[in-house]
Structure 1
Amino acid sequence: MNNISNIDNIPKEYMYDPDFQSKLKTILIGDAIGCEKIYVNIDYVKPGAESTKYHSHSVQEEFFLILSGEGLLRIDGEKIIIRKGDVISKPAGKDITHQFINNSSEILQILDIGTREKDDIITYPDENVIYIKDKKLIFNINNSIKDWTSEPNE
């Protein structure tokens, strides 16, 4: 695999919705050129669409750069206006809930870089869902076990 490429030469197999028929197109640049410890993506979010579901990570660190467009960053219950040139960090282990929303009339383009972390647990509070990514396990928070304890002597 070549570790040098041009964004225009990334094969379609490294893209979600390469023809941009839906509301979100993602180019997996890091995967295409062989990044192992980080992922590097460019997300293209159409007007009225969202980049992801509102979520947080237990251990993954992320960095975002708004390449073009404008919209909202929904983060920890707040909505903040974002535009071209804005940079956002989401430090590791902080469980910062986040999502980008394109409420403008142009495409929102986001450079998304993050660490690949073993045992990262992703929480989707709007849906009460927990996702253990490495194990591909999904749990509904509302289906809890009553009266369970980790205490061995009770």
Structure 2
Amino acid sequence: MTQPPIAAKSIPAPLGKTIYPKPYAALLQGRLKRKLGKYFGLTHFGVNLTHLLPGAISALAHSHSQQEEFILVLEGSPTLVLGQEEFVLQPGDCYGFQAGTGLAHQLVNRSEASVTYLEIGDRIEGDEVEYPNDDLKATQLPNGEWALTRKDGSTLGDL
């Protein structure tokens, strides 16, 4: 049986949900990520409809070793932090993040209005995520889940 189309905004998503541990998790309290691809059972790539309230961030500044990402701004004016540079984006602006460059990126909503963007990424196995501004590293496990450690590989314990 086929599934009928659905309004993207009707797919449930808890505000502020993240895999980051404390204290990093608190930084994402204003982010709402609807996992559209997961809802439809897609396994080769992910598609997220993400909303950032004023002052919210998309993620900690990070770079992927294997996985690539693409964003398309639908509403609002987020700031793209790309390494040491910053760019204010407008609806219709897009950017692609190549894997393996080491160039950290994140979106920050410094405006007084909400931001909505589409985020697409592949799911190539064996990905590692570096966070240059934080003592955190993420490693993708064979089952697709993520293991978080300190940069030296030690457990996070109490941060």
Question: What is the alpha-carbon distance in structure 2 between the residues aligned to residue 3 and residue 96 of structure 1?
Answer: 39
**Larger relative strand fraction:** 1
Aligned pairs for 1:25-64 within 5 A? 25-64=32-71
Paired residues of 1:65 and 1:111 also in contact (CA < 8 A) = yes
Question: What is the alpha-carbon distance in structure 2 between the residues aligned to residue 52 and residue 59 of structure 1?
Answer: 17
Root-mean-square deviation (Å):
2.1
Q: Give how far 1:110 is off.
A: 1.0
> Does 1:7 pair with 2:17?
no
**1:137 partner amino acid:** A
Q: Give how far 1:43 is off.
A: 0.7
Identity of aligned residues (%): 28
Question: What is the alpha-carbon distance in structure 1 between the residues aligned to residue 130 and residue 115 of structure 2?
Answer: 24
Question: What is the alpha-carbon distance in structure 2 between the residues aligned to residue 5 and residue 84 of structure 1?
Answer: 23
Q: What is the TM-score of this pair, normalised by structure 1?
A: 0.80
* Secondary structure in structure 1 of the residue aligned to 2:54: coil
Of residues 131, 139, 147, the one that matches 1:137 is 147
> Closer, same or farther in 2 for the Cα pair 1:127/1:41, shift >3 Å?
same
* Secondary structure in structure 2 of the residue aligned to 1:16: coil
The residue that corresponds to 1:152 in the other structure is none
Unaligned runs of 5+ in 1: 145-154
Paired residues of 2:68 and 2:97 also in contact (CA < 8 A) = yes
Describe the superposition over 1:10-34 as per-residue Cα deviations: whole angstroms up to 9, x where unpaired: 2x2xx2329xxx4111110111112
**1:63 partner amino acid:** F
Paired residues of 1:37 and 1:116 also in contact (CA < 8 A) = yes
* Secondary structure in structure 2 of the residue aligned to 1:74: strand
* Secondary structure in structure 1 of the residue aligned to 2:37: helix
Of residues 82, 85, 90, the one that matches 1:83 is 90
Describe the superposition over 1:121-149 as per-residue Cα deviations: whole angstroms up to 9, x where unpaired: 011111132111226333323579xxxxx
Paired residues of 1:54 and 1:125 also in contact (CA < 8 A) = yes
> Closer, same or farther in 2 for the Cα pair 1:34/1:138, shift >3 Å?
closer
> Does 1:120 pair with 2:127?
yes
Bigger Rg over Cα: 1
* Secondary structure in structure 2 of the residue aligned to 1:31: helix
Runs of 4+ in 1 over 6 A off after TM superposition: none
Q: What is the TM-score of this pair, normalised by structure 2?
A: 0.77
Question: What is the alpha-carbon distance in structure 2 between the residues aligned to residue 56 and residue 7 of structure 1?
Answer: 27
Question: What is the alpha-carbon distance in structure 2 between the residues aligned to residue 23 and residue 8 of structure 1?
Answer: 16
Number of residues paired by the alignment?
138
The residue that corresponds to 1:147 in the other structure is none
